[in-house]
Structure 1
Amino acid sequence: MSIFNSDTEFYDLLEKQADLAVQAAKEFQLLGGGFGQSTERATALKRIEAQADELTHELTLKADDKFITPYDKEDMHSLSTALDDITDLIEAAGARVAIYRLATPRVDFIAMAQALLATVEATRAGVGGLRHIRDLKQMREHLIRIHDLENKNDEAYRTALGDLFNEPGADPLNVIKWKEIYDRIELVADKCESVAVGLERIVVKYG
């Protein structure tokens, strides 16, 4: 029995949320090529975020209206919210690049943005696995990959902070700006981990 009975609209909505998160991560990763179009990138991210918010609201309404026992509405709300948070946090990081008028991306930023995209793409694959929840081997592979990539994001984050705070002659204001951006990238990776935990909880209950 499917966790959404025979109704696929919840799968569709969750996957659309995950797709928007990937779109946001790709848009953000493009900033690694230079900050000359940071305002345009920030605008694009804001547009993606608005679409994601609409999907979150739509899923909440449908879950409250149609989702019946024995399946847990809280699991659905938690998963949907975590996916929305991923897009929100990417948008917030991109907005700060534009607001702070940073001139060029740091090497660490480029590496973190690339690692982040890989993690969000792995999260999308995990969400897609809900349609095939009985394929436990595949779902576990998705979850392991998300966890592994999140750990790599943690390592990249620590390296970036170390380089930032120990750079000779660093401008304290720039250090503050970059730390805020790095912190938000790290939070995105944490939210991907939250999605993995949510997926794992659903697998345990209904797999």
Structure 2
Amino acid sequence: MRLSSGDSIFYDLFTAAALNLRDGVRVLSEALAPDADRAALVPRLKDIEHAGDEHTHDIVRRVNSGAKTPFHRDDIYRLAGGIDDVLDDVEAALDLMVLYRIKEMPTGIAAVVDVLDRAADLTAEAMPRLRTANELTKYWIEINRLENEADQTYRRLLAHIFSGEYDALTVHKLKDVIEILESAVDGFERVANIVEQIALKQ
């Protein structure tokens, strides 16, 4: 199955955006190391987020300029926006960790970030295959499985932070971080759903 012909630059831009997102998730992973200087990681992640914005703007500019597109313009907008939204959540999660001055994270947070890391790798690997939509079924199935895995971890995390171990203010801070990480995982699933819809339209 081959997607309709079009300007191949879009495939390169989506691949670059996904690789940039993967870089952002890896910085977030670094922030969970016991000796991590989270404040020092914030500028790095902000630079990656700004690069992501540029990828998104470049894609949108090319579509709006009337460039030939490899698939429907609305799908291009949605895919670009979906990747950008995940990166925004990743950047916001680290920002909150620093702004809230959270010293120790519940162990389950590392499990959610590990899901994000695996989803980022899968997404970066999938984007070049948009050219032919070849073997993408395994991609969106695995992303869905990872999202289900993260849902279970999310529920356990909520139960843990409301167990009475933490004071009320710390619960509020941790809940904000956990929810935005969950939003990032959901964002990866939305990106995979968009890819599936693109492939099924061909």
Question: Which AA in structure 2 matches 1:194?
Answer: R
Give the Å deviation of 1:2: 5.2
**1:30, distance to aligned residue in structure 2 (A):** 1.1
2:24 is equivalent to residue 27 of structure 1: no
Would the alpha carbon gap of residues 32 and 21 (structure 1) be closer, same or farther in structure 2, given more than 3 Å must change?
A: same
Unaligned runs of 5+ in 1: none
The structure showing larger relative contact order (alpha-carbon pairs under 8 Å, at least 6 residues apart) is 2
Please, which of 142, 152, 156 is the counterpart of residue 155 of structure 1?
152
- On the 8 A contact 2:12/2:128 being kept in 1, the answer is no
- Say if 1:81 and 1:90 are closer, same or farther in 2 by CA, change over 3 A: same
> Offset of 1:156 from its aligned partner?
1.2
Alignment length (residue pairs): 202
Q: CA contact under 8 A between 1:116 and 1:189: conserved in structure 2?
A: yes
C-alpha contact 1:34 1:105 (8 A) present in aligned 2: no
1:105 aligns with 2:120: no
How far the C-alpha of 1:123 sits from its partner, in A, is 2.0
CA distance in 1, matches of 2:9, 2:156: 42
Aligned counterparts of 1:21 and 1:15: Cα–Cα separation in 2: 10
Structure 2: runs of 5 or more not aligned: none
Say what the alpha-carbon RMSD is for the aligned residues.
1.8
Q: 1:178 to 1:70 in 2, by over 3 A?
A: closer
Correspondence 1:61-76 to 2 at 5 A:
61-68=61-68, 71-76=71-76
Contact 2:3 2:199 in 1 (8 A): no
Equivalent position SS for 2:158: helix
When residues 200 and 139 of structure 1 are mapped into structure 2, their CA distance, relative to the original with a 3 A threshold, is: same
Distance 1:139 1:129 in 2: 7
| 1:36-59 C-alpha deviation (Å, 9 max, x unpaired) | 411111111111000000110000
Given the two structures, how large is their TM-score scaled by the length of structure 2?
A: 0.93
SS of 1:46's equivalent in the other structure is helix
Which one of 170, 175, 190 corresponds to residue 186 of structure 2?
190
Q: Tell me how far 1:109 sits from its aligned partner.
A: 1.5
Is residue 29–residue 114 contact of structure 1 (8 Å, CA) maintained in 2? yes
Residue type of the partner of 2:96?
Answer: R
Q: Which residue of structure 2 aligns with residue 54 of structure 1?
A: 54
Q: Residue 178 in 1 paired to residue 174 in 2?
A: yes
Instruction: Give SS of 2:101's match.
Output: coil
Looking at structure 2, the residues matched to 15 and 8 of structure 1 have their Cα atoms a distance apart, in angstroms, of 11
Please say if residues 10 and 69 of structure 2, whose CA atoms lie closer than 8 Å, have aligned partners that are also in contact.
no
Q: CA deviation at 1:125?
A: 2.2
